[in-house]
Amino acid sequence: MYTYRNVIEEDFVLISAFPENKMEQFYMFPSGTFPLDPVHLFEVSQTRALPTVIESDGSLAAYCNLYDLSAGDHGWLGNVIVNPAYRGKGAGRYLIEVMIEKARNELKLKELHLVCHNSNTKALLLYNKLGFCPYGMKIMNGHDGHEIVGIKMKLPLY
């Protein structure tokens, strides 16, 4: 049902429209603004590794990338977003599984890390089902300026 490919610049007009509100945009891209600027999102993707989209019948279903590979043995999953039309239909799971395989096989990473906000229950449940385990937390200001917890999670790749 789903396929994946490298993102292209033209995709960012659609990707930037996936977040339906400030909270979803914050979950995807904490330093971005709502609504997302496709040019800004594209520029950020140029500093990231493996920017990838998931498609279904030619429609964009999801997007993410990897960042902060400086340690050499691990990277961070970033800018994860699923098109509202594909939520609850396996697109998020497929996207993360693809990124796990790409991190393992293309970048030879030993671990994949992420930060998931405490109020993003659906994402926390998905990451847990895929084997990610919490190991720390990061206190940050949420989309509304109130403190929230970013839960640091990691998945061994070997």
The pLDDT value recorded for residue 98 is: 98
Which residues are paired to 55 by β-bridges?
3, 60
Predicted local distance difference test score (pLDDT) of residue 17: 98
Domains and CATH numbers, the chain: 3-156 (3.40.630.30)
How many C-beta atoms surround the C-beta of residue 82 within 10 A?
A: 27
C-beta of residue 132 within 8 angstroms of C-beta of residue 145: no
pLDDT of residue 70: 83
* pLDDT, position 67: 97
Contact (Cβ atoms closer than 8 angstroms) between residue 56 and residue 86: yes
- Written as tens digits, the pLDDT of the chain (158 aa) is 999 999 999 999 999 999 999 999 999 999 999 999 999 999 999 999 999 999 999 999 999 999 999 888 999 999 999 999 999 999 999 999 999 999 999 999 999 999 999 999 999 999 999 999 999 999 999 888 899 999 999 999 98
In contact, 80 and 122? CB cutoff 8 Å: no
pLDDT at 72: 81
pLDDT at 124: 97
User: 98: which 2 tokens?
Assistant: 């693809």
pLDDT computed for residue 71 by the predictor = 80
